[in-house]
Amino acid sequence: MGSVGAKDVPVLLSPEGLRIDGRRLDELRPLRIQAGPLHQADGSAFVEWGANKVMAAVYGPREVHPRHLQQNNKAVIQCKYNMAAFSVDERKRPGLDRRSQEISKVIAEAFESVVFAEEFPRTSIDVYIEVLQANAGTRCAGVVAASVALADAGIPMVDLVPSVAVGKIAGQIALDLKKEEDNFGEADLPMALVPQSGRLVLLQMEGHMTPDELSKALDLGVVGCKAIYEKMKQALRDRYTVDPVATGAA
């Protein structure tokens, strides 16, 4: 648990309450969101969060391929989360893997809760998330990027969906784990919030926590999500701010 002197295990929390990157327990890593960086996609977003670099693109609503997946009364939301081969320290072989498939499903379900899919029967809204550089919390960064991309694509939704992972390091509940904290910490809890309703549409947990710790983690996560929400809104506003130098230059 981050004991001093143990080989290869870093000290996750200093006596002063500082984490290995100097953050306090309730601080987010630096987060930068850019809406609309891609030209082909209907909507897109690029997120740089700590050392994560994640690109998301949305196509749709559009015709469903393959056709048999069509739903008569609403759009299907298909999500594909993928990590680039060079995004992790040990090269990841290209192609489907079980972890990516699970994450894709969980993220698609999160968006199904907020997108007004009934407005577009028999269509597909395709969400693609590419992790270009990974450092823990990639599925949360993916949700943030995809949410902004959906808004950028003009897809009607109840709300944007901020997301963050809360964890437990050195026995303390901490917000937004980075890689070492995720690897050597005691619990990891990714979540995604719909600010308007105050409800969670993505929730996973791995590790061990007491019910009290879990309760504290949920509250901390909600606070983190609200801060991220503001950044997401700003990124979309910035997209449409009139700038004489940038006008015409994408």
Partner 1 sequence: MGGKVYASVLGLLTTKPPFLQVLPLSGRYIPKPDDVVIGTVTDCQGTFWLLDIGAPRWAPLHMTGTPWNVEIGETEKFLRVRDSVIVRVENLDPTGRIGVTMLGDGLGKLEGGTIVTVSPARIPRVVGRGGSMIETITRHTGAQVAVGQNGRVWINGTPDAILRASEALRLIEDQAQRRGLTERVESYLVSTSSSNDRGPETAARESAHRDAPPQHVPPVGPADERIDPESVGPGPDEY
Partner 2 sequence: MTAEVTAEIRTAHILDLAGEGKRLDGRGPDEYRRVQVEPGFVTTADGSALVRIGDTAVLAGIKLEPGKPFPDTPNAGVLTTNAELIPLSSPVFEPGPPQPGAIEVSRVVDRAIRAAEAIDLTRLCVTPGEKTWVCYVDLHVLDHSGNLIDTAMLAGVSALAHATVPAKRFGIAESDYPLDLQHVPVECTFVRLGDALVVDPTFDEEQAAQGRITIATDETGRVVAMQKGLVGAFSPDDVREVVRRALVHGDRLRIAARGGTA
Residues forming the site for partner 1 (CB under 8 A):
42-43, 60-63, 72-73, 75, 116, 120-123, 151-158, 196, 236, 240-244, 247-250
Residues 25-54, one symbol each (x = binds partner 2 by CB under 8 A, - = not), give: -------------xxxxx--------x-x-
Binder of residue 116, out of partner 2, partner 1, none (CB less than 5 to 8 A by kind)? partner 1
User: In 3D, which of 88, 217, 209, 111 has the Cα closest to residue 165?
Assistant: 217
Tell me how far, at minimum, the Cβ of 75 lies from partner 2, in Å.
16
Q: For residue 202, state whether it binds partner 2 (rule: CB under 8 A).
A: no
Tell me how far, at minimum, the Cβ of 39 lies from partner 2, in Å.
4
Tell me how far, at minimum, the Cβ of 75 lies from partner 1, in Å.
8
Choose between 42 and 186: whose C-beta lies nearer to partner 1: 42
Choose between 56 and 76: whose C-beta lies nearer to partner 2: 56
CA–CA distance from 138 to each of 59, 134, 150 (Å)?
21, 6, 18
Choose between 125 and 220: whose C-beta lies nearer to partner 1: 125
Binder of residue 32, out of partner 2, partner 1, none (CB less than 5 to 8 A by kind)? none
Tell me how far, at minimum, the Cβ of 202 lies from partner 2, in Å.
21
Binder of residue 155, out of partner 1, partner 2, none (CB less than 5 to 8 A by kind)? partner 1
Would you say 198 and 192 are in contact if contact means Cβ atoms under 8 Å apart?
Answer: no
Tell me how far, at minimum, the Cβ of 41 lies from partner 2, in Å.
7
